Structure 1
Amino acid sequence: MSSGSARYEELTVPVPGGDLTVLRWPATDPDAPTVVALHGITANALAWSEVARQLAGRATLIAPDLRGRAASRTVAGPYGLARHADDVAALVAALGLGPVRLTGHSMGAWIAALATVRHPELASSLLLVDGAVSFPLPVGVTEDAALAAVLGPALARLSMTFPSRDAYRAFWRQHPAFAGAWTAEFEAYIQRDLVGTEPELRSSCVPEAIRQDGGEVLLDKDAAGAVHRLPLPAELLWAERGLMDEPQGLYDVNRIELAGLDLERVKATPVPDTNHYTIVAGAAGAEQIVLRLLAS
Protein backbone atom coordinates (compact mmCIF):
# COMPACT_ATOMS: atom_id res chain seq x y z
CA MET A 1 0.00 0.00 0.00
CA SER A 2 1.11 3.59 -0.27
CA SER A 3 0.48 7.08 1.00
CA GLY A 4 1.60 9.77 -1.40
CA SER A 5 5.17 8.96 -2.40
CA ALA A 6 5.97 6.91 0.73
CA ARG A 7 5.04 3.24 0.54
CA TYR A 8 4.09 1.29 3.64
CA GLU A 9 3.09 -2.19 4.66
CA GLU A 10 0.42 -3.16 7.18
CA LEU A 11 0.93 -5.80 9.86
CA THR A 12 -0.59 -6.83 13.16
CA VAL A 13 0.88 -7.35 16.61
CA PRO A 14 -0.88 -9.29 19.39
CA VAL A 15 -1.69 -7.28 22.52
CA PRO A 16 -4.09 -8.00 25.39
CA GLY A 17 -7.59 -7.78 23.91
CA GLY A 18 -6.78 -8.34 20.25
CA ASP A 19 -4.38 -7.53 17.42
CA LEU A 20 -2.96 -4.04 17.08
CA THR A 21 -2.61 -2.87 13.48
CA VAL A 22 0.72 -1.28 12.66
CA LEU A 23 1.97 0.54 9.57
CA ARG A 24 5.62 0.17 8.59
CA TRP A 25 7.52 2.40 6.17
CA PRO A 26 10.78 0.50 5.62
CA ALA A 27 14.22 2.06 5.39
CA THR A 28 16.32 1.60 2.29
CA ASP A 29 19.35 0.74 4.44
CA PRO A 30 19.00 -2.28 6.80
CA ASP A 31 21.29 -0.50 9.28
CA ALA A 32 19.10 2.63 9.42
CA PRO A 33 17.46 3.55 12.73
CA THR A 34 13.90 2.64 13.66
CA VAL A 35 11.35 5.25 14.73
CA VAL A 36 8.11 4.41 16.55
CA ALA A 37 5.54 7.20 16.20
CA LEU A 38 2.32 7.57 18.20
CA HIS A 39 -0.69 9.54 16.98
CA GLY A 40 -3.17 11.81 18.76
CA ILE A 41 -6.49 11.11 20.44
CA THR A 42 -8.82 10.78 17.42
CA ALA A 43 -6.12 10.20 14.82
CA ASN A 44 -4.61 7.10 13.23
CA ALA A 45 -1.23 5.87 12.00
CA LEU A 46 -1.43 7.83 8.74
CA ALA A 47 -1.09 11.05 10.75
CA TRP A 48 2.64 10.39 10.23
CA SER A 49 2.45 10.18 6.42
CA GLU A 50 4.18 13.49 5.78
CA VAL A 51 6.94 12.57 8.21
CA ALA A 52 7.31 9.24 6.38
CA ARG A 53 7.46 11.03 3.04
CA GLN A 54 10.23 13.30 4.23
CA LEU A 55 12.16 10.51 5.92
CA ALA A 56 12.38 9.02 2.42
CA GLY A 57 13.69 5.68 3.61
CA ARG A 58 16.44 7.10 5.85
CA ALA A 59 14.79 5.38 8.84
CA THR A 60 12.20 2.68 9.30
CA LEU A 61 9.03 4.31 10.59
CA ILE A 62 6.60 2.21 12.65
CA ALA A 63 3.23 3.77 13.49
CA PRO A 64 0.40 1.86 15.18
CA ASP A 65 -3.30 2.58 15.04
CA LEU A 66 -3.77 2.84 18.80
CA ARG A 67 -6.45 0.59 20.31
CA GLY A 68 -9.92 1.97 19.75
CA ARG A 69 -8.98 3.69 16.47
CA ALA A 70 -8.97 2.86 12.74
CA ALA A 71 -7.87 -0.73 12.06
CA SER A 72 -7.27 -1.29 15.79
CA ARG A 73 -10.80 -0.25 16.74
CA THR A 74 -11.78 -3.84 17.63
CA VAL A 75 -9.00 -4.25 20.19
CA ALA A 76 -10.91 -4.45 23.46
CA GLY A 77 -10.53 -2.14 26.42
CA PRO A 78 -9.56 -1.21 28.98
CA TYR A 79 -8.18 1.90 27.35
CA GLY A 80 -6.15 4.62 29.07
CA LEU A 81 -2.66 6.00 28.62
CA ALA A 82 -0.90 3.30 30.63
CA ARG A 83 -2.57 0.63 28.50
CA HIS A 84 -1.39 2.37 25.33
CA ALA A 85 2.12 2.72 26.77
CA ASP A 86 2.23 -1.01 27.46
CA ASP A 87 0.93 -1.70 23.94
CA VAL A 88 3.90 0.24 22.57
CA ALA A 89 6.29 -1.87 24.62
CA ALA A 90 4.55 -5.03 23.38
CA LEU A 91 4.84 -3.82 19.79
CA VAL A 92 8.57 -3.14 20.11
CA ALA A 93 9.16 -6.55 21.72
CA ALA A 94 7.02 -8.45 19.19
CA LEU A 95 8.85 -6.92 16.23
CA GLY A 96 12.25 -7.37 17.87
CA LEU A 97 13.11 -3.73 17.44
CA GLY A 98 15.27 -3.10 20.51
CA PRO A 99 15.65 0.52 21.71
CA VAL A 100 13.88 2.79 19.24
CA ARG A 101 13.67 6.48 18.50
CA LEU A 102 10.29 7.20 20.06
CA THR A 103 8.04 10.12 19.19
CA GLY A 104 4.43 11.06 19.81
CA HIS A 105 2.09 13.88 18.83
CA SER A 106 -0.58 15.36 21.10
CA MET A 107 -2.00 12.48 23.20
CA GLY A 108 0.67 10.31 21.62
CA ALA A 109 3.31 12.49 23.29
CA TRP A 110 1.81 11.75 26.73
CA ILE A 111 1.83 8.05 25.85
CA ALA A 112 5.43 8.21 24.62
CA ALA A 113 6.61 9.91 27.82
CA LEU A 114 4.71 7.44 29.99
CA ALA A 115 6.03 4.50 27.97
CA THR A 116 9.64 5.50 28.67
CA VAL A 117 8.89 5.75 32.39
CA ARG A 118 7.12 2.37 32.53
CA HIS A 119 9.63 0.71 30.19
CA PRO A 120 13.00 2.48 30.54
CA GLU A 121 14.70 0.14 28.07
CA LEU A 122 12.24 1.03 25.30
CA ALA A 123 13.71 4.18 23.77
CA SER A 124 17.12 5.46 22.76
CA SER A 125 15.69 8.96 22.19
CA LEU A 126 12.40 10.76 22.79
CA LEU A 127 10.77 13.52 20.76
CA LEU A 128 7.52 15.04 22.06
CA VAL A 129 5.37 16.96 19.57
CA ASP A 130 2.85 19.46 20.96
CA GLY A 131 1.97 17.29 23.95
CA ALA A 132 3.12 15.51 27.13
CA VAL A 133 3.50 18.68 29.20
CA SER A 134 0.56 19.40 31.50
CA PHE A 135 0.10 22.76 33.18
CA PRO A 136 -2.36 24.06 35.77
CA LEU A 137 -5.82 24.94 34.55
CA PRO A 138 -6.47 28.69 34.31
CA VAL A 139 -8.12 30.31 37.32
CA GLY A 140 -11.87 29.76 37.24
CA VAL A 141 -11.74 26.85 34.75
CA THR A 142 -13.04 23.62 36.28
CA GLU A 143 -11.89 20.13 35.30
CA ASP A 144 -15.34 19.40 33.83
CA ALA A 145 -15.22 22.56 31.74
CA ALA A 146 -11.74 21.72 30.47
CA LEU A 147 -12.83 18.20 29.53
CA ALA A 148 -15.88 19.54 27.69
CA ALA A 149 -13.74 22.05 25.78
CA VAL A 150 -11.21 19.41 24.73
CA LEU A 151 -13.51 16.46 24.07
CA GLY A 152 -16.70 18.21 22.98
CA PRO A 153 -15.74 18.81 19.31
CA ALA A 154 -14.20 15.34 18.98
CA LEU A 155 -17.17 13.54 20.47
CA ALA A 156 -19.53 15.54 18.28
CA ARG A 157 -17.72 14.32 15.17
CA LEU A 158 -17.75 10.74 16.41
CA SER A 159 -21.54 10.84 16.64
CA MET A 160 -21.95 12.10 13.07
CA THR A 161 -22.59 10.05 9.94
CA PHE A 162 -21.53 11.03 6.42
CA PRO A 163 -23.25 10.04 3.18
CA SER A 164 -20.00 9.64 1.23
CA ARG A 165 -16.24 9.91 1.41
CA ASP A 166 -16.51 13.16 -0.50
CA ALA A 167 -18.73 14.51 2.28
CA TYR A 168 -16.17 13.58 4.90
CA ARG A 169 -13.48 15.28 2.86
CA ALA A 170 -15.64 18.40 2.62
CA PHE A 171 -16.18 18.32 6.40
CA TRP A 172 -12.45 18.33 7.05
CA ARG A 173 -11.58 20.85 4.35
CA GLN A 174 -13.65 23.40 6.25
CA HIS A 175 -11.37 22.97 9.26
CA PRO A 176 -9.40 26.21 9.76
CA ALA A 177 -6.22 24.32 10.67
CA PHE A 178 -5.92 23.08 7.07
CA ALA A 179 -6.69 26.23 5.11
CA GLY A 180 -4.33 26.14 2.15
CA ALA A 181 -2.48 23.12 3.55
CA TRP A 182 -4.37 20.12 2.14
CA THR A 183 -2.14 17.30 0.89
CA ALA A 184 -2.47 13.79 -0.50
CA GLU A 185 -1.05 12.51 2.77
CA PHE A 186 -3.76 14.21 4.80
CA GLU A 187 -6.42 12.94 2.41
CA ALA A 188 -5.27 9.36 3.02
CA TYR A 189 -5.22 9.99 6.77
CA ILE A 190 -8.83 11.17 7.01
CA GLN A 191 -10.11 8.42 4.73
CA ARG A 192 -8.47 5.78 6.96
CA ASP A 193 -10.69 7.00 9.78
CA LEU A 194 -13.94 6.05 8.04
CA VAL A 195 -15.86 2.83 8.67
CA GLY A 196 -19.32 1.66 7.60
CA THR A 197 -20.95 1.95 4.22
CA GLU A 198 -22.52 4.80 2.30
CA PRO A 199 -24.71 6.62 3.15
CA GLU A 200 -23.80 5.97 6.81
CA LEU A 201 -20.05 6.34 7.08
CA ARG A 202 -18.68 7.32 10.48
CA SER A 203 -15.43 7.75 12.35
CA SER A 204 -13.70 4.55 13.40
CA CYS A 205 -12.89 5.94 16.86
CA VAL A 206 -14.55 4.15 19.78
CA PRO A 207 -16.24 6.85 21.91
CA GLU A 208 -15.42 5.05 25.17
CA ALA A 209 -11.74 5.07 24.26
CA ILE A 210 -11.80 8.78 23.45
CA ARG A 211 -13.56 9.66 26.73
CA GLN A 212 -11.22 7.61 28.90
CA ASP A 213 -8.04 8.63 27.13
CA GLY A 214 -9.04 12.29 26.97
CA GLY A 215 -9.86 12.39 30.66
CA GLU A 216 -6.48 10.94 31.51
CA VAL A 217 -4.61 13.41 29.30
CA LEU A 218 -6.07 16.22 31.39
CA LEU A 219 -6.44 14.69 34.82
CA ASP A 220 -4.28 11.60 35.33
CA LYS A 221 -1.43 12.53 37.67
CA ASP A 222 0.78 9.62 36.62
CA ALA A 223 0.55 10.59 32.95
CA ALA A 224 1.02 14.29 33.73
CA GLY A 225 4.06 13.53 35.83
CA ALA A 226 5.79 11.29 33.29
CA VAL A 227 7.58 14.15 31.50
CA HIS A 228 9.17 15.07 34.85
CA ARG A 229 10.44 11.52 35.45
CA LEU A 230 11.92 10.64 32.08
CA PRO A 231 14.82 8.18 32.11
CA LEU A 232 16.48 9.99 29.18
CA PRO A 233 16.74 13.55 27.81
CA ALA A 234 14.03 14.66 25.41
CA GLU A 235 12.88 17.53 23.25
CA LEU A 236 9.45 19.14 23.03
CA LEU A 237 8.50 20.74 19.72
CA TRP A 238 5.51 23.03 20.20
CA ALA A 239 3.24 24.67 17.65
CA GLU A 240 2.76 28.41 17.71
CA ARG A 241 -0.96 28.13 16.95
CA GLY A 242 -3.83 26.03 18.31
CA LEU A 243 -6.17 23.23 17.23
CA MET A 244 -8.39 25.61 15.25
CA ASP A 245 -5.40 27.65 14.02
CA GLU A 246 -6.11 30.23 16.71
CA PRO A 247 -3.18 32.47 17.76
CA GLN A 248 -2.90 30.84 21.20
CA GLY A 249 -1.42 27.39 20.87
CA LEU A 250 -1.46 24.62 23.43
CA TYR A 251 1.91 25.88 24.67
CA ASP A 252 3.82 29.10 24.98
CA VAL A 253 6.82 30.15 27.04
CA ASN A 254 4.66 31.09 30.04
CA ARG A 255 2.71 27.82 30.05
CA ILE A 256 5.88 25.77 29.81
CA GLU A 257 7.27 27.73 32.75
CA LEU A 258 4.06 27.13 34.73
CA ALA A 259 4.41 23.42 34.05
CA GLY A 260 7.77 23.40 35.82
CA LEU A 261 9.51 21.66 32.94
CA ASP A 262 13.22 21.02 33.48
CA LEU A 263 14.50 22.73 30.35
CA GLU A 264 17.96 21.25 30.78
CA ARG A 265 16.41 17.79 30.64
CA VAL A 266 13.62 18.52 28.14
CA LYS A 267 14.52 21.12 25.54
CA ALA A 268 11.46 23.11 24.41
CA THR A 269 11.49 24.50 20.88
CA PRO A 270 8.72 26.44 19.07
CA VAL A 271 8.04 25.57 15.43
CA PRO A 272 7.05 28.77 13.58
CA ASP A 273 4.07 28.88 11.25
CA THR A 274 2.51 25.65 12.51
CA ASN A 275 -0.66 24.79 14.37
CA HIS A 276 -1.49 21.71 16.44
CA TYR A 277 -2.18 19.65 13.30
CA THR A 278 0.29 21.01 10.77
CA ILE A 279 3.24 20.57 13.12
CA VAL A 280 2.95 16.91 12.04
CA ALA A 281 0.86 16.97 8.85
CA GLY A 282 2.40 20.03 7.23
CA ALA A 283 5.67 20.17 5.35
CA ALA A 284 7.38 22.72 7.64
CA GLY A 285 6.48 20.93 10.84
CA ALA A 286 7.35 17.48 9.51
CA GLU A 287 10.72 18.80 8.36
CA GLN A 288 11.61 19.80 11.93
CA ILE A 289 10.48 16.41 13.25
CA VAL A 290 12.55 14.56 10.66
CA LEU A 291 15.66 16.61 11.45
CA ARG A 292 15.42 15.57 15.12
CA LEU A 293 14.62 11.94 14.41
CA LEU A 294 17.61 11.53 12.13
CA ALA A 295 19.97 13.39 14.45
CA SER A 296 19.06 11.52 17.66
Structure 2
Amino acid sequence: MNEPAELDLPVEGGTLRVLRFGRGPRIALAAHGITGSGMSFRAVARRLPDEWSLFAPDLRGRGGSAGNPGPYGLDRHALDLCRLAEHLGAGGPVALAGHSMGAYIALRAAARGPELFDRLLLVDGGLPLPVPPGADLDAVLDDTLGPALARLGRTFGTDGAYVDFFRAHPALGPHWNADIERYVRYDLTGPRGARRSKAREEAVRHDGRDLLTSADLFAADLTRLSVPALLLHAPLGMLGQEPPMLRASVVERWTGRSSCLPAELIEGSNHYTILLGAPAKTVAERFAALGG
Protein backbone atom coordinates (compact mmCIF):
# COMPACT_ATOMS: atom_id res chain seq x y z
CA MET A 1 0.00 0.00 0.00
CA ASN A 2 1.25 3.52 -0.81
CA GLU A 3 1.82 5.73 2.18
CA PRO A 4 -0.72 8.54 2.63
CA ALA A 5 -0.11 12.05 1.37
CA GLU A 6 0.35 14.52 4.24
CA LEU A 7 -1.59 17.75 3.81
CA ASP A 8 -2.01 20.88 5.91
CA LEU A 9 -5.62 22.03 5.55
CA PRO A 10 -7.20 25.20 6.95
CA VAL A 11 -9.27 25.32 10.12
CA GLU A 12 -10.04 28.14 12.51
CA GLY A 13 -6.81 29.64 13.81
CA GLY A 14 -4.44 27.66 11.63
CA THR A 15 -4.16 24.32 9.87
CA LEU A 16 -4.49 20.63 10.70
CA ARG A 17 -2.24 17.88 9.42
CA VAL A 18 -4.45 15.58 7.37
CA LEU A 19 -3.51 12.18 5.92
CA ARG A 20 -5.02 11.41 2.53
CA PHE A 21 -5.44 7.74 1.65
CA GLY A 22 -6.49 7.00 -1.93
CA ARG A 23 -7.11 9.19 -4.97
CA GLY A 24 -10.76 8.55 -5.82
CA PRO A 25 -13.46 11.21 -6.23
CA ARG A 26 -15.71 10.02 -3.38
CA ILE A 27 -14.64 11.79 -0.20
CA ALA A 28 -14.61 10.40 3.33
CA LEU A 29 -13.52 12.18 6.51
CA ALA A 30 -12.54 10.19 9.60
CA ALA A 31 -11.75 11.22 13.20
CA HIS A 32 -9.44 9.16 15.42
CA GLY A 33 -9.44 8.29 19.11
CA ILE A 34 -8.30 10.24 22.15
CA THR A 35 -4.54 9.49 22.03
CA GLY A 36 -4.37 8.42 18.39
CA SER A 37 -3.75 9.94 14.96
CA GLY A 38 -5.11 9.82 11.45
CA MET A 39 -2.86 6.82 10.82
CA SER A 40 -5.34 4.69 12.78
CA PHE A 41 -7.50 4.57 9.63
CA ARG A 42 -4.79 3.06 7.40
CA ALA A 43 -6.28 -0.45 7.46
CA VAL A 44 -9.81 0.78 6.77
CA ALA A 45 -8.69 3.08 3.95
CA ARG A 46 -6.86 0.26 2.19
CA ARG A 47 -10.07 -1.77 2.07
CA LEU A 48 -12.30 0.97 0.66
CA PRO A 49 -13.20 0.74 -3.05
CA ASP A 50 -10.84 2.49 -5.48
CA GLU A 51 -13.27 5.36 -6.06
CA TRP A 52 -12.81 6.57 -2.49
CA SER A 53 -10.36 8.98 -0.88
CA LEU A 54 -10.24 8.97 2.92
CA PHE A 55 -8.98 12.09 4.70
CA ALA A 56 -7.96 11.45 8.31
CA PRO A 57 -6.91 14.55 10.28
CA ASP A 58 -4.58 14.51 13.24
CA LEU A 59 -6.78 16.29 15.77
CA ARG A 60 -5.46 19.28 17.70
CA GLY A 61 -2.84 18.17 20.19
CA ARG A 62 -2.03 14.93 18.34
CA GLY A 63 0.19 13.72 15.51
CA GLY A 64 1.23 16.39 13.03
CA SER A 65 -1.28 18.79 14.63
CA ALA A 66 0.27 18.52 18.10
CA GLY A 67 1.50 22.11 17.97
CA ASN A 68 -1.87 23.59 17.08
CA PRO A 69 -3.22 26.00 19.68
CA GLY A 70 -6.16 25.27 21.90
CA PRO A 71 -8.69 25.55 23.19
CA TYR A 72 -9.30 21.86 22.90
CA GLY A 73 -12.63 20.15 23.59
CA LEU A 74 -15.05 18.13 21.52
CA ASP A 75 -16.91 21.17 20.18
CA ARG A 76 -13.65 22.62 18.85
CA HIS A 77 -12.77 19.31 17.17
CA ALA A 78 -16.30 19.06 15.71
CA LEU A 79 -15.96 22.56 14.29
CA ASP A 80 -12.65 21.51 12.73
CA LEU A 81 -14.36 18.54 11.05
CA CYS A 82 -17.06 20.82 9.67
CA ARG A 83 -14.43 23.21 8.28
CA LEU A 84 -12.58 20.31 6.65
CA ALA A 85 -15.84 18.99 5.19
CA GLU A 86 -16.56 22.40 3.69
CA HIS A 87 -13.08 22.47 2.17
CA LEU A 88 -13.09 18.89 0.87
CA GLY A 89 -16.74 18.62 -0.12
CA ALA A 90 -16.97 21.45 -2.62
CA GLY A 91 -18.91 19.08 -4.87
CA GLY A 92 -21.37 17.94 -2.21
CA PRO A 93 -21.63 16.18 1.18
CA VAL A 94 -18.85 13.90 2.39
CA ALA A 95 -18.97 10.61 4.28
CA LEU A 96 -18.08 10.90 7.98
CA ALA A 97 -16.68 8.32 10.41
CA GLY A 98 -15.21 8.39 13.89
CA HIS A 99 -13.60 5.87 16.22
CA SER A 100 -13.71 6.04 20.03
CA MET A 101 -13.49 9.72 21.01
CA GLY A 102 -13.56 10.49 17.30
CA ALA A 103 -17.04 8.97 17.13
CA TYR A 104 -18.29 11.52 19.67
CA ILE A 105 -16.65 14.31 17.68
CA ALA A 106 -18.17 13.01 14.43
CA LEU A 107 -21.59 12.83 16.08
CA ARG A 108 -21.28 16.45 17.23
CA ALA A 109 -20.17 17.51 13.74
CA ALA A 110 -23.10 15.70 12.06
CA ALA A 111 -25.54 17.36 14.46
CA ARG A 112 -23.93 20.76 13.92
CA GLY A 113 -23.74 20.63 10.12
CA PRO A 114 -25.93 17.82 8.77
CA GLU A 115 -25.91 19.36 5.28
CA LEU A 116 -22.16 18.67 5.08
CA PHE A 117 -22.41 14.88 5.45
CA ASP A 118 -24.22 12.07 3.65
CA ARG A 119 -23.58 9.33 6.25
CA LEU A 120 -22.19 8.81 9.75
CA LEU A 121 -20.32 5.72 10.92
CA LEU A 122 -19.68 5.45 14.68
CA VAL A 123 -16.99 2.88 15.52
CA ASP A 124 -16.98 1.80 19.19
CA GLY A 125 -18.01 5.22 20.45
CA GLY A 126 -20.57 7.98 20.20
CA LEU A 127 -23.05 6.79 22.86
CA PRO A 128 -23.44 8.62 26.21
CA LEU A 129 -21.33 6.95 28.90
CA PRO A 130 -22.62 6.77 32.48
CA VAL A 131 -20.25 8.42 34.97
CA PRO A 132 -21.00 8.36 38.72
CA PRO A 133 -21.80 11.81 40.18
CA GLY A 134 -18.75 13.37 41.81
CA ALA A 135 -16.32 10.97 40.18
CA ASP A 136 -12.67 12.01 39.87
CA LEU A 137 -12.57 12.42 36.10
CA ASP A 138 -8.79 12.15 35.80
CA ALA A 139 -8.88 8.92 37.81
CA VAL A 140 -11.59 7.59 35.49
CA LEU A 141 -9.38 8.44 32.51
CA ASP A 142 -6.36 6.74 34.10
CA ASP A 143 -8.37 3.59 34.80
CA THR A 144 -10.04 3.54 31.39
CA LEU A 145 -7.18 4.42 29.07
CA GLY A 146 -4.46 2.55 30.94
CA PRO A 147 -1.24 2.18 28.88
CA ALA A 148 -2.49 4.52 26.14
CA LEU A 149 -2.43 7.42 28.61
CA ALA A 150 0.55 6.24 30.68
CA ARG A 151 2.91 6.51 27.70
CA LEU A 152 2.32 10.24 27.34
CA GLY A 153 4.42 11.02 30.39
CA ARG A 154 7.35 8.81 29.34
CA THR A 155 10.35 9.00 27.06
CA PHE A 156 11.94 6.03 25.29
CA GLY A 157 15.57 5.45 24.42
CA THR A 158 14.89 4.13 20.94
CA ASP A 159 12.08 3.77 18.44
CA GLY A 160 12.22 0.04 19.05
CA ALA A 161 11.60 0.53 22.77
CA TYR A 162 8.46 2.51 21.95
CA VAL A 163 7.25 -0.19 19.59
CA ASP A 164 7.94 -2.83 22.25
CA PHE A 165 5.85 -0.84 24.74
CA PHE A 166 2.88 -1.19 22.38
CA ARG A 167 3.66 -4.85 21.65
CA ALA A 168 3.12 -5.47 25.37
CA HIS A 169 -0.35 -3.88 25.23
CA PRO A 170 -2.85 -6.70 25.84
CA ALA A 171 -5.28 -5.45 23.17
CA LEU A 172 -2.59 -5.00 20.49
CA GLY A 173 0.30 -7.41 21.03
CA PRO A 174 -1.59 -10.65 20.27
CA HIS A 175 -2.88 -9.11 17.01
CA TRP A 176 0.28 -7.32 15.87
CA ASN A 177 0.45 -6.45 12.18
CA ALA A 178 1.96 -3.91 9.80
CA ASP A 179 -0.91 -1.45 10.24
CA ILE A 180 -0.48 -1.38 14.01
CA GLU A 181 3.27 -0.90 13.69
CA ARG A 182 2.87 1.93 11.19
CA TYR A 183 0.35 3.59 13.50
CA VAL A 184 2.77 3.33 16.43
CA ARG A 185 5.81 4.60 14.53
CA TYR A 186 3.89 7.56 13.10
CA ASP A 187 3.26 8.71 16.68
CA LEU A 188 6.95 9.11 17.52
CA THR A 189 8.76 12.41 17.98
CA GLY A 190 11.58 13.85 20.07
CA PRO A 191 15.37 13.70 20.00
CA ARG A 192 17.47 10.56 19.86
CA GLY A 193 17.51 8.90 23.26
CA ALA A 194 14.34 10.67 24.41
CA ARG A 195 11.66 9.58 21.99
CA ARG A 196 8.04 10.16 22.99
CA SER A 197 4.47 10.27 21.75
CA LYS A 198 3.36 13.24 19.68
CA ALA A 199 0.10 13.40 21.63
CA ARG A 200 -0.01 16.14 24.26
CA GLU A 201 -1.25 14.97 27.65
CA GLU A 202 -2.98 18.27 28.43
CA ALA A 203 -5.04 17.97 25.24
CA VAL A 204 -5.92 14.34 25.98
CA ARG A 205 -7.02 15.06 29.54
CA HIS A 206 -8.99 18.15 28.56
CA ASP A 207 -10.84 16.24 25.85
CA GLY A 208 -11.34 13.23 28.10
CA ARG A 209 -12.94 15.29 30.85
CA ASP A 210 -15.13 16.97 28.24
CA LEU A 211 -16.26 13.59 26.90
CA LEU A 212 -17.12 12.28 30.37
CA THR A 213 -19.21 15.33 31.26
CA SER A 214 -21.10 15.74 27.96
CA ALA A 215 -23.53 12.82 28.06
CA ASP A 216 -26.56 15.12 27.78
CA LEU A 217 -25.15 16.75 24.64
CA PHE A 218 -24.50 13.39 22.99
CA ALA A 219 -28.00 12.25 23.89
CA ALA A 220 -29.48 15.33 22.23
CA ASP A 221 -27.30 14.81 19.14
CA LEU A 222 -28.45 11.20 18.81
CA THR A 223 -32.12 12.08 19.05
CA ARG A 224 -31.88 14.62 16.23
CA LEU A 225 -29.68 12.72 13.79
CA SER A 226 -30.78 13.42 10.24
CA VAL A 227 -28.13 11.58 8.20
CA PRO A 228 -27.98 7.79 7.64
CA ALA A 229 -25.98 6.38 10.54
CA LEU A 230 -24.61 3.08 11.81
CA LEU A 231 -22.87 2.00 15.02
CA LEU A 232 -20.25 -0.75 14.86
CA HIS A 233 -19.10 -1.93 18.27
CA ALA A 234 -16.63 -4.41 19.71
CA PRO A 235 -17.30 -7.12 22.31
CA LEU A 236 -13.95 -6.44 24.06
CA GLY A 237 -12.57 -3.22 25.47
CA MET A 238 -9.40 -1.15 25.59
CA LEU A 239 -7.40 -3.87 27.33
CA GLY A 240 -8.59 -6.63 25.01
CA GLN A 241 -11.04 -8.08 27.50
CA GLU A 242 -14.47 -7.44 28.95
CA PRO A 243 -16.10 -5.07 29.63
CA PRO A 244 -16.36 -3.48 26.20
CA MET A 245 -16.12 0.26 25.62
CA LEU A 246 -19.88 0.29 24.99
CA ARG A 247 -21.71 -2.07 27.31
CA ALA A 248 -24.65 -4.02 25.89
CA SER A 249 -27.14 -2.12 28.05
CA VAL A 250 -25.92 1.22 26.66
CA VAL A 251 -26.05 -0.03 23.06
CA GLU A 252 -29.54 -1.46 23.53
CA ARG A 253 -30.81 1.76 25.08
CA TRP A 254 -29.69 4.03 22.26
CA THR A 255 -30.14 1.82 19.24
CA GLY A 256 -33.50 0.65 20.52
CA ARG A 257 -34.96 4.13 20.95
CA SER A 258 -33.56 5.64 17.74
CA SER A 259 -34.47 4.17 14.39
CA CYS A 260 -31.76 6.45 12.95
CA LEU A 261 -29.03 4.38 14.56
CA PRO A 262 -28.89 0.63 13.85
CA ALA A 263 -25.99 -1.25 15.44
CA GLU A 264 -23.82 -4.22 14.60
CA LEU A 265 -21.53 -6.14 16.95
CA ILE A 266 -18.23 -7.00 15.20
CA GLU A 267 -17.33 -10.38 16.65
CA GLY A 268 -13.68 -11.16 17.31
CA SER A 269 -12.68 -7.53 17.80
CA ASN A 270 -11.57 -5.31 20.64
CA HIS A 271 -11.61 -1.53 20.91
CA TYR A 272 -8.44 -1.20 18.82
CA THR A 273 -8.51 -4.16 16.44
CA ILE A 274 -11.97 -3.21 15.15
CA LEU A 275 -10.03 -0.50 13.29
CA LEU A 276 -6.46 -1.81 13.12
CA GLY A 277 -7.01 -5.56 12.63
CA ALA A 278 -8.84 -7.91 10.30
CA PRO A 279 -12.27 -6.42 11.24
CA ALA A 280 -11.22 -3.27 9.37
CA LYS A 281 -12.48 -5.02 6.23
CA THR A 282 -16.00 -5.11 7.67
CA VAL A 283 -15.74 -1.48 8.80
CA ALA A 284 -14.76 -0.40 5.29
CA GLU A 285 -17.56 -2.44 3.69
CA ARG A 286 -20.22 -1.03 6.01
CA PHE A 287 -18.94 2.53 5.57
CA ALA A 288 -18.98 2.36 1.78
CA ALA A 289 -22.46 0.81 1.70
CA LEU A 290 -24.06 3.08 4.33
CA GLY A 291 -26.82 5.24 2.99
CA GLY A 292 -26.70 3.58 -0.43
Letter in 1 for 2:199: C
Taking structure 1 as reference, are residues 253 and 71 closer, same or farther at Cα in structure 2, changes over 3 Å only? same
Counterpart position of 2:207: 213
Q: Does 1:93 align with 2:89?
A: no
SS of alignment partner, residue 125 of structure 1: strand
Partner of 1:196: 190
User: After TM superposition, where is structure 1 displaced by more than 6 Å over at least 4 residues in a row?
Assistant: none
- What is the Cα deviation at residue 115 of structure 1? 0.1
1:36 Cα shift?
0.7
State the match for 2:251 in structure 1: 256
Unaligned runs of 5+ in 2: none
Match of 1:78 among 71, 75, 87: 71
Identity of aligned residues (%): 42
TM-score, normalising length: structure 1: 0.90
Q: 2:274 aligns with which of 272, 279, 284?
A: 279
- The two structures, once aligned, show a CA RMSD in angstroms of 2.0
- Asked whether 1:175 is paired with 2:169, we answer yes
**1:276 offset after TM fit, Å?**
0.1
What is the rounded CA distance, in whole Å, between the counterparts of 1:146 and 1:253 in structure 2? 20
Aligned-partner residue type, residue 226 of structure 2: P
Q: Deviations over 1:58-90 (max 9, x none)?
A: 411111011110100111000000100110111
> Match for residue 43 of structure 2?
50
C-alpha contact 1:49 1:186 (8 A) present in aligned 2: no
- Equivalences, count: 287
Partner Cα distance (2:116, 2:122) in 1 = 15
Shift of 1:260: 7.2
Offset, 1:233 = 3.1
> Taking structure 1 as reference, are residues 94 and 58 closer, same or farther at Cα in structure 2, changes over 3 Å only?
closer
Distance 1:164 1:7 in 2: 23
Within 1, Cα distance between the matches of 2:30 and 2:10? 18
Bigger Cα displacement from structure 2, 229-238 vs 116-125: 229-238
Q: Which of residues 142, 151, 154 is equivalent to 2:135? A: 142
SS in 2 for 1:176: coil
Alignment partner, residue 235 of structure 2: 240
One-letter identity of the residue aligned with 2:154? M
Task: Return the offset for 1:24.
Answer: 0.8
Corresponding letter in the other structure for 1:26:
G
CA distance in 1, matches of 2:146, 2:169: 15
Q: 2 CA distance for matches of 1:274 and 1:208?
A: 30
- Residue 73 of structure 2 contacts residue 206 of structure 2 at CA under 8 Å; is this kept in 1? yes
Q: 2-side partners of 1:23 and 1:135: how far apart? A: 30
